[in-house]
Amino acid sequence: MEKKASRKKGKSRRLHYKDLDSLRFLGFLLVFIMHIKSFFKEDFISKYGENIDKALTFGGVFGIELFFTISAFLITALAIREIEYYGNFKLMAFYKRRALRILPLYILILILIFIGIPKIIGFLDLNYHFKFPPLLPFLTFSSNFFYYSDGADFFTGLVILWTIAVEVQFYIFWGFVINLVGKNLKKVSYVLIAIGVLYRLSSSLFTELEIFKDYHSYYNTLYYLSDFGIGALVAIHVREKKDLVEYIKSLDKSFLKYLYSGFVAYLIVAGVFYGNIIFNVLNALIVPSIIGFIIIEQTFGSNSILKFRNLKIATYLGKISYGSYMYHILVMDFIVFGVAIWQGEHQGELSGFIKVIFPFIAFISTIILAHLSYKYFEKPFLRLRREYKRLN
């Protein structure tokens, strides 16, 4: 039987980051908005303007980086805590926990898309010609590199899985690093940040100079290393009780109002200038730093304007956000299929009142499906993770 290390004075073995679920929901919501506008294509730009379109696209990108930064923070914080109490890190147990969370729904989505969608389209005789990439990149969690070299002009329900590939690659790499260096992760985190910033700078310059123009740097894992590095660094600071953390905890409410207003203002400006080389590089540091600040302030702050943990609905929606993210494109497409059948056409077109209610129907349907999936499909696998947990 594994012997537990003695509890260190002043530190609890039990630590929950209750505010992060609501943040996850925010991340999903921003991605959802980015994708919903793509169904309106040129109509959206002509009605709202290119700047709004770019800002909402950047909002979706922010949502994705929110997921990455939170993941790095949580994994690092939990790993450091495990080492503090047991003196070591169980790599295979970590991989098994991650696999039980990621794989069941991921495999289900692949089956639904590669097998289900073509059969449904054929059965209903719909005039849709979705382009499907090879299956192998999805089985090897390398789809992001496939899109990096070949582009992402494929069925969108598959394209979004590139983020899962990036996450899994980080899990494999970071688990190995933690197993190798233990709690001494600070230098590695700084290296990740440096590589991420340099990659964004070089890829942006190459784009401007039309060098390697056939490559899509947005899908490269290196593009997001600063998110992972800063997320990990925040976890290290939190566990070590650094002065920065103590300072953020003590900020007064009036100052926080100005600070959060500044964050929102910057993100709006960065959205309008989305694609600009200067903002691309700045965002490699500023975006995950903003997210890191929010994590610390929400979790430990004494004078928060609002505690996300008190938003019960958003908290639950954050818990099911993995399913919401994985299903939302499929839901949107099935609604369009339904419109095609209802109108007696081979290809559904969103128009009139349907176009107005489409975002609401898609959102509600996605949440219902994600709830059912979480309760009846994902939860049994999540219970199995308890066998590989060393800390509650």
Cβ partners under 8 Å of residue 266, min gap 6: 286, 290
**Assigned domain for 1 exists:** no
Q: Model pTM?
A: 0.91
User: CA dihedral in degrees (280, 284, 289, 292; nearest 10)?
Assistant: 120
Q: In one letter, which amino acid is 383?
A: R
Domain-embedded: residue 10 = no
Alpha-carbon distance 121 to 126, whole Å?
A: 5
Q: Is residue 135 part of a domain?
A: yes
pLDDT (tens, 9 = 90+) of the chain, 392 residues, equals 454 544 444 444 455 688 899 999 999 999 999 999 887 766 766 677 788 888 899 999 999 999 999 999 999 999 999 999 999 999 999 999 999 999 999 999 999 999 998 888 788 777 667 788 999 999 999 999 999 998 878 888 899 999 999 999 999 999 999 999 998 999 999 999 999 999 999 998 887 777 766 678 999 999 999 999 999 999 999 988 778 888 898 899 999 999 999 999 999 999 999 888 999 999 999 999 999 999 999 998 889 999 999 999 999 999 999 999 999 999 998 888 777 777 665 455 666 777 889 999 999 999 999 999 999 999 999 999 888 877 65
Contact 77, 351 (CB under 8 A): no
Count up the domains in the chain and report the number.
1
Note whether residue 308 is domain-resident. yes
Q: Tens digit of pLDDT for each residue in 66-102?
A: 999 999 999 999 999 999 999 999 999 999 999 999 9
User: Could you tell me if residue 5 is inside a domain?
Assistant: no
The pair of three-digit structure tokens given for residue 390, joined into one six-digit string: 């060393």
Tell me whether residue 12 is in a domain.
Answer: no
| DSSP labels, 193-245 | HHHHHHHHHHHHHHHHTTSSTTS-GGGSGGGGHHHHHHHHHHHHHHHHT-HHH
Collect all residues with Cβ–Cβ distance below 8 Å to 243 and sequence separation of at least 6: none
Within 10 angstroms of residue 238's Cβ, the number of other Cβ atoms is: 22
Do the domain assignments include residue 7?
Answer: no
pLDDT tens digits along 227-279: 999 999 999 999 887 788 888 988 999 999 999 999 999 999 999 998 889 99
Q: Which two tokens stand for residue 2?
A: 């594994």
Domain boundaries, position 135: 20-388
